[in-house]
Structure 1
């Protein structure tokens, strides 16, 4: 959800999910767990499942905020091999927090969800958000990762890379990639970054860009090269092509055809 309220007042209610929000502008006042709280611009809100709360503007300009609701089963899945004890669920003691890192993680997740990003990007940002929230704000901390076992880590990363090489233009959910690698999603992100210095979604995008670059050199139009390489958004393709190669797709094509 993304909303800007001036007069709206939330009646006391709760959700059956974890709810993580960012106040972007103004301020909102709410009651939760027997206390009164204010979330101002730039602050993060964290509600546990069944946390009763209300809400109203605490400033003349109202309040603008983003919020993401994540079911307990999904949080448990993300943290399956990263928490102390199987099935142990995090709880958040403070409903309103000052934490730029959490704000950035939540904003990136919300942007991916509303912007129809690839499944791999959404899953990676979900993992980053949940683990950041738990590591920095939960009453039950993350377990320190076990020391990486070189051979197993390398094998898992290379299996995932092989799938990306083969199906880079497809929408690949993180679970499919983890199954190919033979490990959990959480373990795969660590292994892949250790082996290749980037996330699986960054690698997938780079493979798409390389394919598009070859097509452009062969005379394909920018639109055709983008579509054939797995990009569904022309502006997204253009932006990342310039970021990675320093020239526009059109200029690259022209240079090879002249």
Structure 2
């Protein structure tokens, strides 16, 4: 079977969804600033997350917190089919507040793979409504159900307010702030060292230990995030590539596909309903 993917994104809320089958595709190590919940439908997907190897087989759910670095590939030659939905942190917080009647900390999912049929069913229903043009009211109902089910059955605790970072975490935090502010610029390792007061290798080591990515991978991820926003705004792909630090449209397309499993053009057209070969 040929690799394929189908993508949907909301025009006005931080929620996106993909249905895909991959045999050859390999995800580059990356993270999302959203919560991401995947349901494996057939086959099995293997990936590393938080320093350990995991496999999600048919019927299992993958639960990624914001900024959880992970990769992914088919466990065997038969490939895997899965659905995944990405939900913004504020949307999760707002939905939980609606469901519970009070605001509390964001949820934390300790296990990247959850074997829970009720959760898989709730996520599958939400995903189908998103990709099949369900009504807005139905999507909202299923979103509330899916988030409440995920938190009730798989979350281990709420995220505590962050404490001021110290040591290596402080170095990594300062480097990340600089990259967020200047990710479209040609930032050097010397720039990061100067901003943090650490050596060049010290910055690299602290960043990898804290965030699970190298500074250059994180910068590329930020650039791809900017590219997604510009693509959604309707900017031509060649201009998107030029604005976000990629050599040309082919360079952007290659990295976009490795991170997200679809081409920039497919992402641009994601409001449609076609199946997109990868």
| Residue from 53, 58, 61 that aligns with 1:44 | 61
Which of the pair has more CA radius of gyration?
1
- Are residues 1:5 and 2:22 paired? yes
- Are residues 1:114 and 2:131 paired? yes
| Residue from 111, 117, 123 that aligns with 1:94 | 111
Residues matched between the structures, number = 141
- Equivalent pair of 2:49/2:71 in contact (CA under 8 Å): yes
- Are residues 1:35 and 2:35 paired? no
More strand by share: 2
Identify which of structures 1 and 2 has the higher relative contact order when contacts are C-alpha pairs closer than 8 Å and 6+ apart.
Answer: 2
Superposed, 1:41-190 pairs within 5 Å as 41-82=58-99, 86-140=103-157
Q: Distance in 2 between matches of 1:31 and 1:85?
A: 35
- Equivalent pair of 2:99/2:144 in contact (CA under 8 Å): no
Q: Which residue of 2 aligns with 1:209?
A: none
Say if 1:99 and 1:54 are closer, same or farther in 2 by CA, change over 3 A. Answer: same
More helix by share: 1
- Equivalent pair of 2:45/2:80 in contact (CA under 8 Å): yes
Q: Distance in 2 between matches of 1:63 and 1:132?
A: 25
1:60 shift after superposition = 1.9
1:86 shift after superposition = 2.5
1:82 shift after superposition = 4.8
Aligned-residue Cα RMSD (Å) equals 1.5
TM-score by length of 2: 0.49
Say if 1:125 and 1:82 are closer, same or farther in 2 by CA, change over 3 A. Answer: closer
Q: Structure 1 runs of 4+ off > 6 angstroms?
A: none
Q: Distance in 2 between matches of 1:49 and 1:55?
A: 17
Structure 1: which 5+ runs fail to align? 142-258
